[in-house]
Structure 1
Amino acid sequence: MTFIFESGYTFWNPLIWIIVFLVVAIMVYFFRRSGQKGYKKDTDQARIFLSGEEVPEAGERHIRVGNIYWGFFETLKEYYKQMLRIHTGIVNDYMLWFVAVTVVSAIILVVAGLVR
């Protein structure tokens, strides 16, 4: 009995994949084991380093996404205005768009002869 599945392009042998997985797992284990042993969990080693600055409290160090992607949003402001107009938040509208796009796609596929 053979365990090889041939698809014409490649083969799949579960025994080979199990061996590869075990070899990679052993390599990862030895790589992790070679790490530093001097780590102490509840000391200054475990504190956040912020370029030498005092770290603010958790609520104060949250950066809003609008600040991070300000340039991106500002550049695409006109696009977002148009998109917000057609996005009503009503599920029926989304289903109408889904059905309409599906019908148009089906018509194009039938006319192009890709689907019989």
Structure 2
Amino acid sequence: MGTEAFYATSAQVLPTLLIALTVEIGFLLTRLERAHTKAHREEHDMAPQPFFFYRGPSRAARYFARLGRWQLAAVLISLTFLVGEFSALLALAHRWFYPGTFYLTAGSIAMMGIYAVIAPIIRWYGTP
């Protein structure tokens, strides 16, 4: 279904998208770490509250909940990359130009492209 040029280009584009996502997520995690450090300082600088005063979950708990979501995102990105790269290299090595390898490779490129577009949007609008 795809040509050899498609799979060769895909095998080069997927690592490039992975590098872009790695840099972008590094920026996101740095921003979350700064917000956590600021929140931690604010919580320790506050005067003690009465024991019956409940402010909801601490900022540290919210930070670790966000970090868990980013770990899930990292797993999804890694699996998408591995499936696409493996199918592209498999098609190149064994000349398996079948619809299945084409759809796996093209779908992985599409998903990695979507991730690469969404990550900066989340960085600017979705984090503290």
Question: What TM-score comes out, normalization by structure 2 length?
Answer: 0.24
Bigger radius of gyration among the two? 1
Higher relative contact order (CA 8 A, sep 6+): 2
Indicate the structure with greater helix content.
2
Question: What TM-score comes out, normalization by structure 1 length?
Answer: 0.26
